[in-house]
């Protein structure tokens, strides 16, 4: 199993280069059909890079799908209100097919990597490689360049761009290597710019490409088989089950409570070392040491100066999504540490989205009417008496939710069976959902008959914890013991005998 601990881009490139050298030697001395050492090495290097990049995304296709949804949302807001607004409505539609798009791109990336290594269809491979690299360059370039776009300014308003600020970026990671390796947007962008060099080299010198297989039928059979195997592997990691290989911080065995506390302490110790200010009159940007600014801040009134950024020290521990782990009650009260400090086994049922459509309805409510009388008591005191006068009816509008049958049945059958069996053993369970109102939760509990607490959390956080909707997570003492896809959910007795010791 791969591990992303302490892996850097330099180490990854070195590993890919070593693999490319080995493949180049095999091509030269085993297949004996290479024409150019440079071409053969570049084919093998780019091919190995694409296979690896595709594989670390294939173990978690939903991660790439969620990333594409982020891009589609940002593209919609970017193009809306500009000369290109006609294409803005296309992006919400594309978001509906983000999972399919993700699988297609992952399969294509892996197959193209193999095509480069074996030298399949040189001209077509060269064109396909160039188009994909250009596509990736646009995505990473957009991600990086939004750092120059202040909040409230459209990307295409180039004259309003300001100094680079990483906080301005809406999509902070391109997802080039999934969750295995997070690259800074600038690094990702320049990586793709470098890949454009071999891309154009392949295009103009495709006749120099080596070819391992000369038989067209064998070649097509190999590529078709690879495509099928890769497709099944991708689907197995989100349609039928959750990823077996997990690069996310909420992996099985993670001590979320300890990690969150450690990360929060590290952030609390971050120091402000300088302030960046912009003069509203002439646009001049200055940077002042923290001590100087705090001693003379009256010399920089808000009417003339705007604070555009704070320069801070780096936290001693790198922040992860665990820092954003926050759970609230439907009323908005914080319940994060209530969950994390529970020392008993508990089942967390997660749904980043509740698949229900509101339908406006009305019902008749009967209200009682009362009259109030004051009577005198024998001791001279007074008593207010409330007397029923009658009833009155009124019509009240409300939302009746129509729940998707598969989603509702997952809770009524699979989740309810687990929750009820665990309850008999005095093992608690609760649900955490994203984007749900109190009315929505109450309606769903009534539809499913589930008698357990419901909490709310950020949908992106919930997507990160488990790649299933709904998904089930077993917790104990702030640690993740195990996770399940709803379609692979064992019986309570199986879970108890295997994971609750």
In the block, which residue shows the tokens 């539609």? 93
> Is position 58 within any domain?
yes
Q: How far is CA 53 from CA 20, 45, 330, 357, 452, in A?
A: 15, 12, 40, 38, 42
What pLDDT does residue 365 have? 67
45 in the same domain as 22:
yes
278 in the same domain as 149:
no
85 in the same domain as 135:
yes
16 in the same domain as 157:
yes
- Give the pairing type, strands 345-351 and 471-476: antiparallel
On the question of pLDDT at 396 being above 70, the answer is no
On the question of pLDDT at 131 being above 70, the answer is yes
492 in the same domain as 417:
yes
92 in the same domain as 148:
yes
On the question of pLDDT at 73 being above 70, the answer is yes
> Is position 33 within any domain?
yes
On the question of pLDDT at 3 being above 70, the answer is no
Assess contact for 350 and 470: CB atoms under 8 A.
yes
Q: How far is CA 387 from the centre of its chain?
A: 59
> Is position 29 within any domain?
yes
pLDDT single digits (tens) 196-228? 999 999 999 999 999 998 888 999 999 999 999
> Is position 43 within any domain?
yes
Mean pLDDT along residues 121-142: 94
- SS3 assignment, position 212: coil
> Is position 346 within any domain?
yes
> Is position 247 within any domain?
no
103 in the same domain as 220:
yes
For residue 495, give the CATH number of its domain.
Answer: 3.40.30.10
Mean pLDDT along residues 453-458: 96
230 in the same domain as 378:
no
> Is position 420 within any domain?
yes
pLDDT single digits (tens) 119-128? 999 999 999 9
* Domain region containing 205: 10-236
293 in the same domain as 395:
no
> Is position 40 within any domain?
yes
Which range has the top average pLDDT, 141-145, 149-153, 363-367?
Answer: 141-145
What pLDDT does residue 85 have? 82
What pLDDT does residue 4 have? 46
Binned at pLDDT 50, 70 and 90, residue 282 comes out as: confident
232 in the same domain as 93:
yes
Binned at pLDDT 50, 70 and 90, residue 283 comes out as: confident
Q: Considering only 204-208, 282-286, 343-347, 370-374, which range has the smallest mean pLDDT? A: 370-374
Q: Considering only 106-110, 329-333, 366-370, 490-494, which range has the smallest mean pLDDT? A: 366-370
* Phi, psi (degrees; rounded to nearest 5) at 495: -65, -45
In the block, which residue shows the tokens 């009658």? 390
Q: Considering only 78-87, 336-345, 464-473, which range has the smallest mean pLDDT? A: 78-87
pLDDT single digits (tens) 287-332? 999 999 999 888 888 889 988 888 999 888 888 999 999 999 999 9
Residue where a domain terminates, one of 213, 236, 259: 236
Q: Using alpha carbons, select from 464, 457, 65 the residue that is nearest to residue 250.
A: 464
What pLDDT does residue 185 have? 85
Assess contact for 171 and 144: CB atoms under 8 A.
no
335 in the same domain as 370:
no
CA dihedral sign of residues 332, 338, 344, 348: positive
Mean pLDDT along residues 51-62: 95
395 in the same domain as 344:
no
Q: Is 118 exposed, middle or buried (0-12, 13-18, 19+ CB in 10 A)?
A: buried
**Rounded mean pLDDT of the chain?**
90
Mean pLDDT along residues 107-126: 96
Domain count, the chain: 4
What pLDDT does residue 100 have? 94
Residue where a domain terminates, one of 182, 211, 236: 236
Mean pLDDT along residues 414-435: 95
Rounded CA gap, 79 and 85, in Å?
A: 5
């Amino acid at each position: 199993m791969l591990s992303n601990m302490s892996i850097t881009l330099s180490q990854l490139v070195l590993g890919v280069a070593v693999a490319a050298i080995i493949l180049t030697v095999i091509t030269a001395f085993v297949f004996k059909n290479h024409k150019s050492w440079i071409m053969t090495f570049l084919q093998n290097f780019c091919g190995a890079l694409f296979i690896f990049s595709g594989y670390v995304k294939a173990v978690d296709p939903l991660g790439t799908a969620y990333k594409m949804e982020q891009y589609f949302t940002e593209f919609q807001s970017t193009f809306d209100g500009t000369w290109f607004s006609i294409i803005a409505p296309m992006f919400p539609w594309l978001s509906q097919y983000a999972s399919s798009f993700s699988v297609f791109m992952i399969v294509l990336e892996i197959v193209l990597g193999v095509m480069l290594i074996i030298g399949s269809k040189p001209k077509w491979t060269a064109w396909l490689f160039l188009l994909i690299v250009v596509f990736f360059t646009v995505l990473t370039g957009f991600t990086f360049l939004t750092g120059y776009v202040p909040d409230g300014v459209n990307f295409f308003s180039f004259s309003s761009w300001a100094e680079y600020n990483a906080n301005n970026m809406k999509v902070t990671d391109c997802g080039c290597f999934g969750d295995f390796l997070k690259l800074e947007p600038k690094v990702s962008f320049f990586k793709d710019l470098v890949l454009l060099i071999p891309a154009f080299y392949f295009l103009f010198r495709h006749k120099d490409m080596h070819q391992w297989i000369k038989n067209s039928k064998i070649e097509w059979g190999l590529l078709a088989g690879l495509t099928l195997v890769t497709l099944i592997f991708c689907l197995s990691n989100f349609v039928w089950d959750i990823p077996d290989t997990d690069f996310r911080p909420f992996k099985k065995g993670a001590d979320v409570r300890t990690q969150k506390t450690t990360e929060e302490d590290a952030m609390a110790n971050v120091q402000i070392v300088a302030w960046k200010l912009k003069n509203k009159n002439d646009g001049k940007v200055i940077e002042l040491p923290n001590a100087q600014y705090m001693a003379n801040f009256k010399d920089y009134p808000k009417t003339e100066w705007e604070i555009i950024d704070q320069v801070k020290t780096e936290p001693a521990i790198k922040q992860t999504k665990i820092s954003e782990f926050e759970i609230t009650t439907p009323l908005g009260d914080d319940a994060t540490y209530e969950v994390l400090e529970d020392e008993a086994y508990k089942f967390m049922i997660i749904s980043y989205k509740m698949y229900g459509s509101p339908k406006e309805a009305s019902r008749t409510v009967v209200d009682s009417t009362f009259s109030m009388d004051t009577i005198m008591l024998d001791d001279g005191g007074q008593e207010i008496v409330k007397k029923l006068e009658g009833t009155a009816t009124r019509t009240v509008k409300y939302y009746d939710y129509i729940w998707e049958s598969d989603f509702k049945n997952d809770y009524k059958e699979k989740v309810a069976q687990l929750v009820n069996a665990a309850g008999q053993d005095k093992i608690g369970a609760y649900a955490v959902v994203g984007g749900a109102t109190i009315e929505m939760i109450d309606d769903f509990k009534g539809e499913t008959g589930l008698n357990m607490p419901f909490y709310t959390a950020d949908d992106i956080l919930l997507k990160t914890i488990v790649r299933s909707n709904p998904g089930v997570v077993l917790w104990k003492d702030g640690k993740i013991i195990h996770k399940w896809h709803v379609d692979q959910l064992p019986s309570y007795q199986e879970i108890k005998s295997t994971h609750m010791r």
